[in-house]
A and B are shown apart, each in its own frame.
Chain A
């Protein structure tokens, strides 16, 4: 599988994403934000974590309008896979590829910790390696991860199976106590209508190594390899 990782000024988890993708068997290339095209044969575009443009204006607002995003939109429209992690999710929302917005965390503080997620469905290209409703242990590191959208959008996401992950405890139980940022319906990640675009706040790419916390993040990258 060929993955293209888009580098915006201020991206900082591009190396972590590349490491996880390569470990799963993908080839990775870095694409500069000012480029107009993706490398030929790109199967997956990754918008990595970080603080693109310093989070100035709004998180992801400037990056969402970068040249390369036109190419990313074309790629998505043609059914190609797109994964936006953390700032990447914020960029996807700002670029119109996903609905909704990421607001400041409920406690108004940046929060970095290990966090369980419930895999809402395991029949997408991103989650086939997981069991149904598996609780996976990954990491979060964000100040603006509180997902909000219009009521009708939330209804649509819920009604059409577009919620990818929810914050939960180790047993997969969902509730306010396990929601780190106040996100609506404990949403941690969502799909586009065709399930080929995934935006998520947590960092599966930081949980791929038994020496560094565990390997629950691997499944997402392994699923993508199988899908491509």
Chain B
């Protein structure tokens, strides 16, 4: 019986277009290889040159971001960024999106997002110690939102819980611009000894290339291409391009990889993520200035009859590629067999700088390996700056609700309501190092037995970015900076996950460029470099794009976790201090949207010099043990921050307005501010230190009682606020959201 010859379609303009390649991009391929590509080669170009893998629209602008600092060990370009945290240890971290697949199939889309980012971290030799996420869903009134929330949350939990890493923080919010394109951004953080970091670059000619992990199936073929296009009315038909996650396999892969790395067998390692075997093999060769030859007959397959095209483009999960020391091949194989994982030598490194793929005796691919990546198209897409909106005059805004009523409504609005329903589905306690867990703005995870810890946060305010991309970009970085300082951490570095619409539209590209300008400016001013990241474009459905959402994941170092403070008021009779100045900036505020019903005006400007001095001042107070609680001010301003501190501690407060007793002062979202609680004698010391440091600090009031009293407004029971705050999300998910919101 002869093997059935697989039918390969002829290369036609239509086939090229269906691979997401533009006519000029196809001409580029012809010029590069001097002949018509084979079907498999076309698939490979499509996988390597799509937006997701090639960053063709964004590369030019990403280069402008600051990525260096003395503590940065590895910047962008590897699987994850790595920073030095002292004591011979390093922290590897990255954030990545799984937006498109999560909209199509929320559970599997989210699980494989978490799985992919965990793999990025442990591929570098780091053991994951924490996960975070940033989720954006459509309007709470959209009929699909509940389904997406419940699937995504279950998926994130389903993977992380089983894998055994705590999900310690995140952010979940809603906006109609995400109705057709939700955002699922997952961040993973791991620890590795500085001298035991592994990289993707292969070295040495003739070394075995080994395939490890799960078998290859027909799932996720062209997933990265799908993630590089807008959605249309038929997007549901793309479900087969979504991969299926298996956290059990990933847990085994983690343990086996770390064991094999410790044994000294591994020369280079790369996980198979987007564009699977293609991207991982090409990267290992290209980075190491080597050629790669693969024999697909050796690839462990889940089903018979898979073609070279399918194997090269499958995005089956939980797979790794390694270059091994040939002398230790057997030792490595024994470790993998012990963990019950597939292990197969599927190729070798060569000195030809060619990427050669053979299948059933035929050469299916023979391409120049460096050019596959290096010669990917690079676009300087036209971009127009977003017109700067006018500043709103708060005095022109008639308030329909009294301050106390507005406060009650805001603590229970979808974006500010408690997300306990979400984070209680995530195991946030495993590993026993969650010093500050989910529910606040930031998390702290102890490093081993301490005393050091990592302060972690994910932030972005998309409505600011939409109104003014530059200020919005700055603000996202500044908020991450503030959140880390507010627990007593020293901000060290960032990962970014840039979610935007269709970059072929000059306005969208303008948002992208503007946000990056703002992010870059803030990073430079705060000495807070970006060490890893991911770009997700084409978040559009039928021509309607999302709010520009450059998610920022921040990592800071806490020298002694015993000195960390949380947001909760600790005791009655303590002074409440406000750091920073309050003008009463209502433009683009939550108050404006939720109480007055519109999104308008310029977002609050970010004064980076103030951010720096205020942040350092607060961090120093925490290190000296002068404060008992600290909270940064963001969405909802002063009143919401006070309510959050009161609800977390179950203790009320009486507070005077830092200016007029008006909605603008209570709910304005002026930047660069923190609230602190301190014992009376220490409060006066803080005020004295602030005067010396030139930082604006005022004592606004005192903790105590069962109510929150804002200025001259009627007191509100903390218990009542807490009930409203906690009840919104469970009621919404149970189907009673509309009623609960009234």
Partners in one complex: yes
Interface of A toward B, CB cutoff 8 Å: 9-10, 12-13, 15-16, 19, 49-51, 53-56, 109-113, 139, 141, 143, 203, 205-206, 208-209, 211-213
Structural contact, B158 and A110, CB atoms closer than 8 A: yes
**25 interchain pairs (CB within 8 A)?**
A9-B252, A10-B162, A10-B251, A12-B251, A13-B164, A49-B430, A50-B164, A51-B162, A51-B248, A51-B251, A56-B248, A109-B154, A110-B157, A111-B425, A112-B425, A112-B427, A112-B429, A139-B429, A141-B430, A203-B429, A206-B429, A211-B446, A212-B432, A212-B433, A212-B434
A19 to B449, CA, bound (A): 10
**Residue B473 is within 8 A (CB to CB) of chain A in the complex:** no
CB pair B446–A10 under 8 Å, yes or no, is no
Q: With both chains docked as a complex, state the minimum distance between the C-beta of A104 and any C-beta of chain B, in angstroms.
A: 12
Nearest A-chain residue to B165, judged by Cβ:
A12
Complex contacts, B425 vs chain A, CB 8 Å: 109-112
The residue in chain B whose Cβ has the minimal distance to the Cβ of A52 is: B248
The answer to whether A54 touches B340 (Cβ under 8 A) is: no
Q: What residues of chain A lie closer than 8 Å to B346, measured between beta carbons?
A: none
Residues of B within 8 A of A (CB): 154, 157-158, 161-164, 246-249, 251-252, 339-340, 424-435, 446, 450, 561-562
Measured between alpha carbons, how far is A160 from B473 in the docked complex, in Å?
Answer: 65
Q: Can you name the residue of chain A whose Cβ is closest to the Cβ of B163?
A: A12
CA distance in complex: A91, B425 (Å): 22
Check if B248 sits within 8 Å of A112, measured CB to CB.
no
Q: Are B435's CB and A211's CB within 8 A? A: yes
Taken together as a complex, chains A and B put the C-alpha atoms of A213 and B431 apart, in Å, by 13
A55 (CB) vs chain B CBs: closest residue: B162
Q: Complex: how many Å from CA A13 to CA B165?
A: 10
- Complex Cα distance A203/B166, Å? 14
Given the complex, which residues of B lie within 8 Å of A50, measured CB to CB? 162, 164
Residues of A within 8 A of B161 (CB): 51, 110, 112, 141, 143
Q: Smallest CB-CB separation from A139: which chain B residue?
A: B429
Determine how close the nearest CB of chain B comes to the CB of A20; give it in whole angstroms. 8
Chain B residues within 8 Å of A212, by CB: 432-435, 446
State in angstroms the CA–CA spacing of A203 and B446 once bound together.
Answer: 19
Q: Are A113 and B162 in contact (CB under 8 A)?
A: no
Other 18 A-B pairs with CB < 8 A, given A16-B430, A110-B158, A206-B432: A9-B248, A9-B339, A19-B432, A49-B430, A51-B251, A54-B247, A54-B248, A55-B162, A56-B248, A110-B157, A110-B427, A112-B425, A112-B428, A141-B161, A203-B429, A211-B446, A211-B562, A212-B434
- Collect the chain A residues with CB atoms within 8 Å of residue B252's CB: 9-10
Q: B430 and A9: CB pair below 8 A? A: no
With both chains docked as a complex, state the minimum distance between the C-beta of A204 and any C-beta of chain B, in angstroms.
11
Contact B158 A16 (CB under 8 A): no
Pairwise interchain contact B251-A113, C-beta atoms closer than 8 A: no
Q: Which partner residue on chain B sits nearest A20 by CB separation? A: B432
Determine the chain B residues whose CB is within 8 A of the CB of A55 once the complex forms.
162, 248
Q: How far is the CB of B649 from chain A (nearest CB, A)?
A: 16
Interchain nearest-CB distance for B587 vs A (Å):
38
| Chain A residues in 8 Å Cβ range of B158 | 110
A111 to B247 Cα, complex, angstroms: 18
Query: What B residues does A143 contact at CB under 8 A?
Result: 161
Set of chain A residues within 8 Å of B450, measured between Cβ atoms: 211
Q: A50-B164, A51-B248, A109-B154 are in contact. Are A16 and B431 (CB under 8 A)?
A: yes
Alpha-carbon gap, A205 to B562, bound state (A): 20
How far apart are the CA atoms of A201 and B247 in the complex, in Å? Answer: 21
| Contact yes or no, B424 A12, CB < 8 A | no
Min C-beta distance of A139 to chain B, whole Å: 5
Q: What are the 8 closest A-B residue pairs judged by CB atoms, nearest first?
A: A12-B164, A54-B248, A51-B162, A141-B427, A112-B427, A139-B429, A206-B429, A16-B432
Residues of B within 8 A of A213 (CB): 429
- The reply to whether A208 and B432 form a contact with Cβ atoms under 8 Å apart is yes
In the complex, residue of chain B having the shortest beta-carbon distance to the beta carbon of A12: B164
Per the bound structure, the CA–CA distance linking A206 and B166 in Å amounts to 12
CB distance from B438 to the nearest CB of A (A): 10
Closest residue to A7 on the B side, CB-wise? B255
Residues in B whose Cβ lies below 8 Å from that of A15: 431
Q: How far is the CB of A84 from chain B (nearest CB, A)?
A: 17
Q: Which residues of B contact A53 (CB under 8 A)?
A: 248
What residues on B are CB-neighbors of A13 within 8 Å? 164, 430
Q: Which of A12, A208, A209 contacts B430 (CB 8 A)?
A: A12
Q: Nearest Cβ distance between residue A203 and chain B, in whole angstroms?
A: 7
Q: Which of B246, B427, B561 contacts A54, CB < 8 Å?
A: B246
* Contact residues in B for A16 (Cβ distance below 8 Å): 430-432
Q: Name the residue of chain A whose CB is nearest to the CB of B251.
A: A10
B561 and A211 form a contact (CB under 8 A): yes
Determine the distance from Cα of A177 to Cα of B425 in the docked complex, in whole angstroms: 18
Q: How far is the CA of A19 from the CA of B430 in the complex (A)?
A: 12
Min CB distance B217 to A, Å, is 17
Chain A residues with Cβ under 8 A from B164's Cβ? 12-13, 50-51
Give min CB distance, B150 to chain A, whole Å.
Answer: 9
With the chains together, A77 CA to B426 CA distance in Å?
37
A10 lies within 8 A of B248 (CB): yes
Name, among B154, B425, B450, B561, the residue most crowded by chain A CB atoms within 10 Å (CB to CB).
B425
Q: Report which of B248, B424, B446, B562 forms a contact with A111, defined as CB distance below 8 A.
A: B424
Bound Cα distance A51, B248 (Å): 7
Which residues does chain B contribute within 8 Å of A111, judged by CB atoms? 424-425
Closest residue of B by beta carbon distance from A205 = B432
List chain A residues, Cβ under 8 A from B248.
Answer: 9-10, 51, 53-56
Residue from the set A10, A53, A205 with the largest chain B CB neighbour count within 10 Å: A10
Residues from chain B with Cβ under 8 Å of A211 in the complex: 435, 446, 450, 561-562
- Complexed CA–CA distance, A10 and B562 (Å): 32
Q: In the complex, A113 Cα to B437 Cα: how many Å?
A: 11
Q: How far is the CA of A209 from the CA of B453 in the complex (A)?
A: 15
In whole angstroms, what is the CA distance A54 to B110 when docked? 18
Most buried by B among A19, A208, A211: A211
Chain A residues contacting B247 (CB-CB under 8 Å) are 51, 54
